[in-house]
Amino acid sequence: MPESPRNGADALISTLVANAVTACFANPGTSEMQFVAALDREPAMRPVLCQFEGVATGAADGYGRMSDTPACTLLHLGPGYGNGLANLHNARRAFTPIVNVIGDHATYHRQYDAPLNSDIPAIVAPNSLWVKSADSPDSVAGLTAEAVAASYGPPGGPVSLILPADSAWLETKDQPVIAQKPVRPAPSGAAIEAAARAIKAAKNPVVLIGAQACLSGGLAQAARLQAAGVTVYSDTFISRTSRGAGVFAPKRMQYFGEMALAELESVDLMVFVGTTLPVAFFAYPNRPSVLVPEGCQTMSAVARSEDAVAGLAALADALGAPKDGPVQPLKLPDAMPTGKLNAYTAGASIARHMPEGAVICDDAVTSGAGVAAAAATARPHEVLALTGGAIGAGLPLAIGAAVACPDRKVLSLNGDGAAMYTIQSLWTMARENLDVTTVVFANYTYRILNVEMQRTGAGDAGPSARKLLELGDPKIDFVALATGMGVPAVRCETAEAFDAAIAAAMTGRGPMFIEAVI
């Protein structure tokens, strides 16, 4: 690091590094060249090139979920951000701290509305906790620190720092500025006490946990509630959660609203910890939006911005819960699955071979349940889910998780339709030699939409509708795509073949790709 930053780009990068932001997922353009050049003056920042910005933002999401520290992205004006928007939507729903650095035209050039000009603040606002433009080189260091701090929330999320080209290339004497990392406030004692009283008075109370409450520390406290007779549910899609042997497994809110409500029918109290009112993912004709049974009381004990671990502990104490609660046993499938390959046999193989500490990035859509079933008693691992419903997160999340946790095995599980959204990720996995095993479940259809078509009352798909739902004409050769981008790949059509492939991938190191034909 130079003694004093030479220009605005140096001020930016040195401030990021001084605040422990040391990974940059990038696809730069001309307006970002000073940032790129400044990287050579700050070797503590690791640049990771992605051949599409949706890969960069999804990787930053995966990194932030695993490290609790933001990565930065480097994006090229409004269109570059646009390419990354969908995975920033997912990151916003995961409360992941991310510092987006969005290059812009030089301040004096904006007025001419050159071809790449657009209203960047408007485009970024819906998925940014904080948006500012550093319109002079001397504003860069301070705003960068502000951006880092803002990304932590709590709860956290993506922020957007716009960097005009001249603010990057002009000189500044500014030194790195250190951001204050905010501390999650303790939950209100009154809210905890009220929740404890209501739980004691209820016939069939449940506690619904989400976000930070689903990390290992929160689950350990939630298990105590379960031991005290309170049923614990988790949100359907969680940013990051622990799973497997030795871990408490709360029930999961079902995806389809009517199933969730049927299961909750007799519940008379729902207490929220680190989450809010459960709602249906989509609306359907004559089906409920809010997933709370009629007559059931709801109350918040711990807000998303508060310390959910402390809140759960206090709630458990107030209920006189034991010090420990139930955890999952280690129960691996007895034998290698055989015969036809499907999501359940694949899940059994993953459970058999997945090492302790593995990180699953789950964008497997309809194939996810099969893996979840077997993994529930596998060696302890963590799962990053698709929080915002924008498919195409599974591959980029894995890049970020692998950069954040180079000593842990990362599994990326994807539907074939989802994988195609950010298939360019495979190249970055190869380039960075990341220890990621990617599985694509190839069923050659948007399976979920075939289900949803019925549920929305739209009826059966005719020839035109099928043209928008079916992916099998032509069938994509995912092995060719993976090897074409430098990732060793194998196609599996039987349970035995998949078991052998996953066994090899779990014991080996480096990027590996498995096409699972199901």
Phi, psi of 251 (to 5 degrees): -65, 155
Which of the ranges 242-250, 319-327, 360-368, 418-426 carries the binding residues for its own copies, by CB under 8 A? Answer: 418-426
CA 52 to the chain's CA centroid? 18
Contacting residue, 17, 116, 497, 500, with its own copies by CB under 8 A: 116
Contacting residue, 5, 58, 78, 311, with its own copies by CB under 8 A: 78
Which residue number, 266 or 464, has a Cβ lying nearer to its own copies?
Answer: 464
Which of the ranges 106-114, 137-145, 294-302, 353-361 carries the binding residues for its own copies, by CB under 8 A? Answer: 106-114
How far separated are the first and last CA of the chain, in Å rounded? 52
Q: Does 10 bind its own copies (CB under 8 A)?
A: no
Which residue number, 339 or 463, has a Cβ lying nearer to its own copies?
Answer: 463
Instruction: Give CA–CA dist 430/399, Å, rounded.
Output: 10
Tell which positions 285-324 bind its own copies, by CB under 8 A: 285, 289-290
Tokens encoding 448: 């979920």
Q: Does 141 bind its own copies (CB under 8 A)?
A: no
**Parallel, antiparallel or unpaired: strands 269-273 and 241-243:** unpaired
Q: Does 277 bind its own copies (CB under 8 A)?
A: yes
Helices (H), 380-456: 394-404, 416-419, 425-431, 447-455
Burial of 289 (0-12, 13-18, 19+ CB in 10 A): exposed
Q: Does 166 bind its own copies (CB under 8 A)?
A: yes
Tokens encoding 350: 């993953």
Which of the ranges 64-72, 177-185, 334-342, 481-489 carries the binding residues for its own copies, by CB under 8 A? Answer: 481-489
**Parallel, antiparallel or unpaired: strands 359-363 and 410-415:** parallel
Tell which positions 37-66 bind its own copies, by CB under 8 A: 37, 39-40, 42-43, 45, 47-49, 51-52, 54
Q: Does 34 bind its own copies (CB under 8 A)?
A: yes
Q: By the 8 A CB rule, do 224 and 251 touch?
A: no
Which of the ranges 117-125, 302-310, 369-377, 490-498 carries the binding residues for its own copies, by CB under 8 A? Answer: 117-125
Instruction: Give CA–CA dist 41/485, Å, rounded.
Output: 30
Contacting residue, 64, 91, 93, 351, with its own copies by CB under 8 A: 93
- What is 162-181 written as a DSSP string? EEEHHHHHSB--PPP-PPPP
Q: By the 8 A CB rule, do 380 and 23 touch?
A: no
Tell which positions 119-138 bind its own copies, by CB under 8 A: 119, 122-123, 125-127
Phi, psi of 405 (to 5 degrees): -130, 75
Which residue number, 83 or 437, has a Cβ lying nearer to its own copies?
Answer: 83
Contacting residue, 4, 68, 82, 298, with its own copies by CB under 8 A: 82
Q: In angstroms, give the least distance from the CB of 313 to its own copies.
A: 28
Instruction: Give CA–CA dist 336/331, Å, rounded.
Output: 14
Going across the sheet that includes 381-385, the strands are: 241-243, 381-385, 359-363, 410-415, 436-442, 512-517, 489-492
Q: Which amino acid is at 460?
A: D
Contacting residue, 280, 376, 497, 504, with its own copies by CB under 8 A: 280
The beta-strand segments (E) located in 142-258 are 158-164, 205-209, 231-234, 241-243, 251-252
SS3 call for 112: helix
Contacting residue, 17, 193, 282, 500, with its own copies by CB under 8 A: 282
Which residue number, 52 or 498, has a Cβ lying nearer to its own copies?
Answer: 52
Tell which positions 246-275 bind its own copies, by CB under 8 A: none
Q: Does 462 bind its own copies (CB under 8 A)?
A: yes
Which residue number, 201 or 279, has a Cβ lying nearer to its own copies?
Answer: 279
Q: In angstroms, give the least distance from the CB of 393 to its own copies.
A: 10
Q: In angstroms, give the least distance from the CB of 18 to its own copies.
A: 17
- What is 329-387 written as a DSSP string? -----SS---SB--HHHHHHHHHHHPPTT-EEEEE-GGGHHHHHHHHTTSS-EEEEE--
Which residue number, 41 or 181, has a Cβ lying nearer to its own copies?
Answer: 41
Q: Does 359 bind its own copies (CB under 8 A)?
A: no
Q: In angstroms, give the least distance from the CB of 126 to its own copies.
A: 4
Q: Does 165 bind its own copies (CB under 8 A)?
A: yes
Which residue number, 221 or 275, has a Cβ lying nearer to its own copies?
Answer: 275
Size of the site for its own copies (CB under 8 A): 105
